[in-house]
Amino acid sequence: MHFTLNDAKTAARTLRRSLAAADASISHSRALEIVSQQLGFTDWNTASARLSAVRPGMGASVPVLRIHDESLAREFYLDYLGFTVEWEHRFEPGMPLYLRIRRDETTLDLSEHHGDGTPGTVVWVPVANAVTFLAEISTRSHPRLNPGIDRDAPGGPTIEITDPFGNVLRLCETND
């Protein structure tokens, strides 16, 4: 993950709030120093010089996958695959859900909105170790899935999993 100057400042504010909740207080400047050291910098001045508030160019893309049932999506993506919710949005109760989820460096948007995404979309997701990933998800059963590894896939060992809505995740360990 690439931290920006704004991320570091947010972390410092969060640190101060957490400490205050535990009846401990530190100054904002001390919190900035602690965060900069946690990020591997010697001090805040060095951190603020090296971290940019705005990165030039484009950021990582976020695929939007169409879903049709919130509970099935949560069961599959959160409970089975181990993603966590970053945020979710509905215009009002009863309206379609838009959900951003993350696991490590992978971010996906799940949407119940008509026109967002197309069922059957394929998303290629890099994994550090396909065998380890498969062993982890195999500890959590899913009623319709029993994935395996294609060790001879062109990009490297690949686990292909289809979500309850027909979207395909190709989790690939690259042969770099």
Interval 119-158: pLDDT, tens: 889 999 999 999 999 899 888 877 777 788 888 888 789 9
Name the percent of the chain lying above pLDDT 90.
46
Q: Is the pLDDT of residue 53 over 60?
A: no
Ranges for all domains in the chain classified under CATH 3.10.180.10: 74-172
Q: Is the pLDDT of residue 77 over 90?
A: yes
Q: What is the pLDDT of residue 79?
A: 94
3-state secondary structure of 85: strand
Residue 167: pLDDT band (50, 70, 90) is: very high
Residue 176: pLDDT band (50, 70, 90) is: low
Distances (CA, A) of 58 to 43, 61, 125, 160: 29, 9, 19, 28
Choose the weakest-confidence range: 10-14, 48-52, 111-115: 48-52
How many of the other CB atoms lie within 10 Å of CB of 27?
9
Q: Is the pLDDT of residue 51 over 90?
A: no
Q: Quick one: CATH architecture of 74-172?
A: Roll (3.10)
- Residues in contact with 135: Cβ distance below 8 Å, sequence separation at least 6, in sequence order: none
Distances (CA, A) of 89 to 37, 76, 93, 150: 35, 19, 10, 36
3-state secondary structure of 97: coil
